[in-house]
Structure 1
Amino acid sequence: MGAWSHGPFDNDDAVDFMMELENAPSWETVRAIFDAVLAHDSYIELPEGARAYAAAALITVATGKSDVSAQDIYMTVDAMGPPPDGLVAVAKRALRQITRGDSEIRELYLDSGSYNEWLDTVAEVDKALAV
């Protein structure tokens, strides 16, 4: 994984996801990422897990419950408007899936030595999603 920290936007998969959204802003794209994670009964690959983590954090930015310094995130959120009803609940379920289930992102952070920091950051995103 090309990651430089444990934050939701601090890896290559998240950057790719945000670039896709910047080119075609849509909450349907975000929903599809969560649906892909939730459709797994078994192992979740890294790109799906990293994108779901970033997508959940994006919702917290869109709802004003967190801030991120990257200007392109705000431009994307402005273009998308507010998240549709029900998306927060789906995001929370996807976060649980990548942190408690069998996921490559979880394994990589376990192996990296920054697992607790990653879990703390995921918990902050989850808390910011609280309605």
Structure 2
Amino acid sequence: MGTWDVGPFDNDTAADFSGDLDEAPEGEREGIIRDALLRAVGTRDHLDQDVAVEAVAAAALVAAQCPGGEPVTTAYGPDLPLPRLSTELRGLAAQALDRVVTEPSELMELWGETDRDGQGPWRAGIVRIRTVLSTASSGGTPTAPLAQG
């Protein structure tokens, strides 16, 4: 995976995921996002980095539609606007992020090689997205924090 920065779309896999969303009919885009989240949540064994990266990108797209969410403005995000996503995806997206940062997770391991204390910029970005998601899905109060590997 080529990675050039710490954002949810700053790698080849996430950029390809964005391209897949753009190529899909509008009515199928929410399903693609849901599937990416479900693949991560449903992984009980080692979480592959590509599955994790797609889940992070999908979660960022869901969070962008939440109150306080950051819009996805990177050139590597989807070019086409997404339909209004179901609010039920918010909790699923938070669960997916929790899984991404829970061992065994290849993406967490890879970022751990450059972020030994677990508090670096990649992790901070994940925490920001999850906070927006959990606050929106719980009606204004953030839910439990992310697991610590």
Q: Which interval holds the TM-score relative to the shorter structure?
A: 0.7 to 0.9
Matched residue, 1:126: 130
How far is 1:42 from its partner?
Answer: 1.1
* 1:14 match: 14
1:98 is matched with 100
Paired with 2:21 and 2:108, the residues of 1 have a C-alpha distance of 24
RMSD after superposition: 1.9
- TM-score when normalising by structure 2: 0.78
- Shift of residue 111, structure 1, vs aligned partner: 1.1
Summarize the Cα distance change of 1:118–1:73 in structure 2 as closer, same or farther, 3 Å threshold: closer
Note if contact 1:63-1:82 (Cα within 8 Å) is conserved in structure 2: no
* Residue correspondences, number: 129
Point out the structure with max Rg over C-alpha: 2
**Which of structures 1 and 2 has the larger relative contact order (alpha carbons within 8 angstroms, sep 6+)?**
1
The answer for the alignment partner of 1:2 in structure 2 is 2
Question: How far is the alpha carbon of 1:70 from its aligned partner?
Answer: 3.0
TM-score, with length taken from structure 1: 0.88
What letter is aligned with 2:104? D
Paired residues of 2:21 and 2:78 also in contact (CA < 8 A): no
Compared CA separation, residues 73 and 113, structure 1 to 2 (3 A): closer
Which of residues 44, 57, 70 in structure 1 aligns to 2:74? 70
2:110 corresponds to: 108
Which structure: greater helix fraction?
1
Is the partner of 1:109 in helix, strand or coil? helix
Structure 1 residues not aligned, in runs of 5+: none
Structure 1 partner of 2:143: none
Match of 1:36 in 2: 39
| Runs of 5+ consecutive residues of structure 2 not aligned to the other structure | 137-149
Tell me whether 61-70 or 100-109 shows the greater mean CA deviation.
61-70
1:69 to partner: Cα distance? 2.4
Question: Which of 40, 45, 49 lines up with 1:46 in the alignment?
Answer: 49
